[in-house]
Amino acid sequence: MLKPLVDLTAADSRFENIVRLDPATGQIFPMTIGDHYAMIEEISLSDTVPQDIRTAFDRARNAFLYAWFSYELTTLAQAQAYAALEMALRERVHRHDPTFNRRGLSTYFQAARRFGLFGGMKLPDGQDAGPDLDHWETSLPAIRNYLAHGSSYVNLPGAASSAIRHCSWLIDHLYR
């Protein structure tokens, strides 16, 4: 699995099969490292998020970026985004209730909702995030646990970047 040193900076061959669509022209192009970079560059956290959480989240972004060279890092990137989300939830829940002493992404997500920390959350398109929150409350911890406890799962770059993006929305809302 370890790439030979001579091939270290070559794109993972699985990216050769990924294309992008130019919406203006309808043309299809092979994905480039620039496209891959742009996919993750646009996902960031606001300055209102504490630096330690932004640092943890940037680990996810960097792992995703370097997945260009080792495709399996998409899984690591996604798992790290969930870890940053859990870190943010833990900090916010403990700020709301310092006596809260349970652990886990699912538990913190539920507590955050119970304490109203996701109240009024909107998606970037302006839609109410309520239905998505219901889905994320169950799916994100399940996927995070699946990844954290060992799995051979490797996500597609687009799906991994979507998961990272969802975590950014949730974290940003906690610190709005």
| pLDDT score at 99 | 93
Q: Which of 51, 44, 132, 122 is nearest to 87 (CA)?
A: 51
pLDDT at 101: 86
Distance CA 159, CA 42 (A): 15
Q: What pLDDT is attached to residue 150?
A: 85
CB 104 within 8 A of CB 141: yes
* C-alpha–C-alpha distance, residues 22 and 40, integer Å: 18
Residue 102, beta-bridge partner list: none
pLDDT 10s digits, 138-159: 999 999 999 888 888 888 888 9
pLDDT at 1 over 80: no
Q: Give 115's contacts (C-beta < 8 A, 6+ positions apart).
A: 93, 96, 97
Quick one: pLDDT at residue 149?
Answer: 87
Task: Kindly report the length of the chain.
Answer: 176
pTM of the model: 0.93
Amino acid letter, residue 158: G
pLDDT averaged over every residue in the chain: 94
The pLDDT of residue 98: 93
Q: How far, in Å, CA of 50 to CA of 47, rounded?
A: 7
**Euclidean distance between CA atoms 167 and 118, whole angstroms:** 13
Count CB neighbours of 173 within 10 A.
21
pLDDT for the residue 102: 86
**What pLDDT, in 10s, does the model give residues 39-56?**
999 999 999 999 999 999
Question: What does the DSSP 8-state code read for residue 122?
Answer: B
Taking the alpha carbons of 114, 120, 124, 126 in that order, is the dihedral positive or negative? positive
Whole-angstrom distance, CA of residue 7 vs CA of residue 68: 12
* pLDDT above 90 (res 62): yes
